[in-house]
Amino acid sequence: INMLTAIHPKLPMREKKITRDYYIHQEGFEQSGGDYDGYLMLRKDNIEIHFFEFKELIPEQNYGQVYIRTNDIDTLYQSLLDNNVSIHPNAPLHTKPWGQREFALLDPDNNLLTFGQGVE
């Protein structure tokens, strides 16, 4: 029997409107769940990320990270470039020695999102 069914990372955000706008307009997420003060739930395809308000967050000291698996990394990467999303300068799309094609980006609060797809 499987008791664990999904995981929703919770990342810090300084300002809900900025986070919401970035993920919806830049990354193509949509808001899910209700609209709660100081909390944000966003969904895209089969993943969901939650954000909690942390107004005092210093972005340079934020080490929030998530690794997101995809089954079409090339199309995803190109769609983000087409939408003028900044890719992390040290992490453009590249095949890694551990058998994953990966790229990464930073959201407005310096949360690191790494996207990866296994190489056949």
* The pLDDT value given to residue 27: 96
Average pLDDT over residues 50-74: 97
- Which residues make beta-bridge pairs with 67? 114
Whole-number Å distance between alpha carbons of 63 and 76: 24
Average pLDDT over residues 43-71: 97
Averaged pLDDT of the chain? 96
pLDDT in tens, 79-114: 999 999 999 999 999 999 999 999 999 999 999 999
Percent of the chain topping pLDDT 90: 95
The encoded tokens of residue 55 equal: 């107004």
Reduced to 3 states (helix: H, G, I; strand: E, B; else coil), residue 13 is: strand
User: Is residue 65 pLDDT above 80, yes or no?
Assistant: yes
Give counts: helices (H), strands (E), the chain: 2, 8
The encoded tokens of residue 117 equal: 């797809």
Write phi, then psi, for 4 (nearest 5 degrees).
-95, 130
Write phi, then psi, for 16 (nearest 5 degrees).
-55, -45
Whole-number Å distance between alpha carbons of 81 and 66: 20
User: Is residue 9 pLDDT above 80, yes or no?
Assistant: yes
End-to-end CA distance of the chain: 30
